Chain A
């Protein structure tokens, strides 16, 4: 008997046995036992998929690696607005994947039947001559990029092994997926524009169509030649060579590139972003319009080299890259007059030398402050030495729009997030953006960083580093220790996941840790600030009520199913909130009611029970009366008890007065009677 497919959409159902199939959205059957390694992405594995409503469709599923934040925003846009020239994103969602035993993002794509273009060309299964390249390769890819530009989704994964033949006859070319990892993360250095390749893979940034155009150029070279001309050149060597010689010279230098393609390749492979060919230029070229040829510009080089970090540098950009890795040595070189003499005489960078000296003087002036630190000085100097490069600080290289994915990767891998937060908190980005006003929207970049800084410096629950993390990475799963294995990326899945996690909770840990609150704040489009402020309160009872109110609001607004486990979990934490009532009778009543509401799984009802305004007012009034009554009693007791023999004396005096009164009254009565008797 065939194994029943597992309903992958249910967050709170028990994990099925490993292996087998899943059904996404009650529609797409994904077979875990039918992998498609030929369609794998660097960070996602491909499996056969079927549309149960339309069996004629050829589909495959990409199962993302749980440790990499996918581009959910791009998925939404590509699904709602599919365009020609790229694999169609049919559907996507978060699902439990039995093979890894946890939830992850699964994307359903149209299946390319002809395989990868580069492999087919290499294996001579497809023949594309140099004259076919513009029409068969460049045109469809440009159409795909044009569409992506129109929906503001840069592809950022254009490379030869991500271009497919959609048909079995290997005639029609399409761009592959681009959503299983952050922008540029999977790109080999060769296919990433130089300024972004200098950053760490996770920190290359969202980028734009300008970056896709470079990747297109580099991919055209490989597809046209049928081989990667610089296949053996890797990592730092490739970066060093590209920086020194220019990307075009490095990639096309020794290759027999068809003459027909020289003009577009020179434009596409330009290392200066604002001079690089865009879609308009390449379309004009495809239409046969002659462009003004770009001059082959070699990078600025000195006559004599400077030895640093085991390499001979003739270019200040490579030096900037090296300086960031060896900060104490870099400071020594920066303060050395010989280096400045080299800058002026050999490298022809007199102005830069003056600027660097200015930074050194500023650093000396602020020697006791953060701005006087070696790390700050080197970061400032690197930004000036490489005006196109990434932010460099304490050995980290990150592009300004790549901070979010880089932060996510560091958090997921328990790396060092402190350096990244320092870039924001110490305003390292400010001088970086001011140096780059020529080619980017520095105001926007600065405003993003200012917002991140505001989050980082805010201590209210739902803010801080975690808030920045989830705001900057829409595809990042909630990293709370309670539900990190559940791969929760949608707010709708949060409560069921917490409900499921309730069974494994130990001790008195709260469901709303910093990650959960930040995740809610980032993904839930309602005003939850009052709840967050209550959650942050020092007073435990207020904090517990804040937690309950936040989750109750979430359940109410999302119309979520009853959460029995979570209700029980929260019920066990309500002690301080119940003790917020003064009246023991009210406390007992609430304690009696809680189990009933736990059985209903309703957090709003539970909140209404705990924080009923009328009940609280009654309690306050009753308590105030009780305090007053207690004080009155205390004073009366004091009066009665008095001090020493005071009460006896008082009683004696009262007795004496009574005796006198009796005596007087008796006398008056007797005298009156005697007088009347005498008169009669």
Chain B
């Protein structure tokens, strides 16, 4: 992040503070868990940020709407931010985000693992069928790389070759 961007960021922030200070206050306090997630999440995909931040925003948005539609003032913003229920809704959303982020990947991973095992079995069966029909010479002619281990030799084809 270069100086130019920081300057531009600060300029926008100052303008926002001047134009919509109550909104900025609610967002700044309400979106704290999302910001924490942004800081903590160092991955390229920023999945945690999106997950936590998304649901955090979901909790903040009703109070922002209230602020914008009823009374866009510092009092209103202060009353919202000092209300425990409001904070519980905002931070509860973020909490849901964290829970989603922590619980969903293992479930999906297990599902993918099962799918992969099934695909693996199918492919191994295909290979075994090929060897039974076309013989072990297929392994040689397939010209596989050193890291790819051939499937087990089909016994029936071996017996046939010997008999022939």
Interface residue ranges, A against B (CB under 8 Å): 575-576, 578-579, 582-585, 587-588, 622-623, 626-631, 633-638, 640-641, 647-648, 650-664, 666-667, 670-671, 674-675, 678
A-B contact pairs, 10 of them (CB 8 A): A582-B135, A631-B144, A640-B123, A651-B112, A656-B51, A659-B101, A662-B51, A666-B58, A667-B61, A674-B62
- Is B26 in contact with chain A by the CB < 8 A criterion? no
Which of these, A582, A626, A653, A663, contacts B100 with CB under 8 Å?
Answer: A663
Docked complex Cα distance between A630 and B144 (Å): 9
Residues of chain B within 8 A (CB-CB) of A641 are: 120
- By beta carbon, the residue of chain A nearest B55 is A663
Question: Would you call B139 an interface residue if the criterion is a C-beta within 8 Å of the partner chain's C-beta atoms?
Answer: yes
From B57, which residue of chain A is reached at the shortest CB distance? A667
In Å, the complex CA distance between A670 and B110 comes to: 29
Q: Are A636 and B134 in contact (CB under 8 A)?
A: no
Residues of chain B within 8 A (CB-CB) of A587 are: 160, 164
Interface-centre pick from A626, A650, A654, A659 (highest chain B CB count, 10 A): A659
Q: Mark B40-74, 1 if CB is under 8 A from A, else 0.
A: 00010111111111110110011001000100000
Considering the chains assembled together, what is the distance between the CA atoms of A636 and B142 in angstroms? Answer: 14
Given known A-B contacts A584-B157, A663-B54, A656 and B133 have beta carbons under 8 A apart: no
Given the complex, which residues of A lie within 8 Å of B127, measured CB to CB?
630, 633-634, 637
> For the complex, would chain A's binding face be called helix, strand, loop or mixed by DSSP majority?
helix
Taking the complex as formed, is B143 at the interface, i.e. its CB lies under 8 A from any CB of chain A?
A: yes
A661 surroundings in chain B (CB, below 8 A)? 50
**Secondary structure class of chain B's binding surface, majority of residues:** helix
Q: How far, in whole Å, are A576 and B106 apart by their CA atoms in the complex?
A: 56
B120, A651: Cβ atoms under 8 Å? Answer: no
Would you give the shortest CB distance from A667 to chain B, in whole angstroms? 4
Q: How far is the CA of A635 from the CA of B126 in the complex (A)?
A: 13
Q: Which residues of B from 128 to 147 have beta carbons under 8 Å from A?
A: 130-135, 137-139, 141-144, 147
Known A640-B116, A655-B105: A575·B164 in contact at CB below 8 Å: yes
B30 lies within 8 A of chain A by Cβ: no
Please indicate the chain A residues that have their CB under 8 angstroms from the CB of B124 in the complex: 633, 637
Task: Tell me the count of chain B residues lying within 8 A, CB to CB, of chain A.
Answer: 59
Q: Give the complex CA separation of A655 and B47 in angstroms.
A: 9
Instruction: Determine which residue in B119, B132, B134 has the highest number of CB atoms from chain A within 10 A of its CB, and name it.
Output: B134
Instruction: Say which residue of A584, A635, A653, A671 sits within 8 Å of B148 (CB atoms).
Output: A635
Tell me if B150 and A634 are in contact (CB < 8 A).
yes
Task: Select which of A629, A660, A664 is within 8 A of B130 by beta carbon.
Answer: A629
Q: Are B133 and A626 in contact (CB under 8 A)?
A: yes
List the A residue with the shortest CB-CB distance to B99: A659
- Whether the Cβ atoms of A667 and B164 lie closer than 8 Å is no
B-side contacts of A585, CB under 8 Å = 133
Residues of B within 8 A of A627 (CB): 134, 138, 141-142
Interface centre among A576, A654, A660, A671 (most CB of B within 10 A): A660
- Return the contact of B119 from the options A640, A659, A662, A667 (Cβ within 8 A): A640
Bound form: Cα–Cα A638–B145 in Å: 11
> Chain A residues with Cβ under 8 A from B148's Cβ?
634-635, 637-638
CA distance A624 to B126 in the complex (A): 15
Q: Which 3 A-B pairs have the closest CB atoms?
A: A655-B105, A651-B109, A655-B108
Residue of A nearest to B150 (CB): A634
Contact of B138 with A630 in the complex, beta carbons under 8 Å: yes
Extra pairs beyond A575-B164, A647-B113, A663-B100 (5, CB < 8 Å): A655-B106, A656-B43, A657-B47, A660-B46, A662-B100
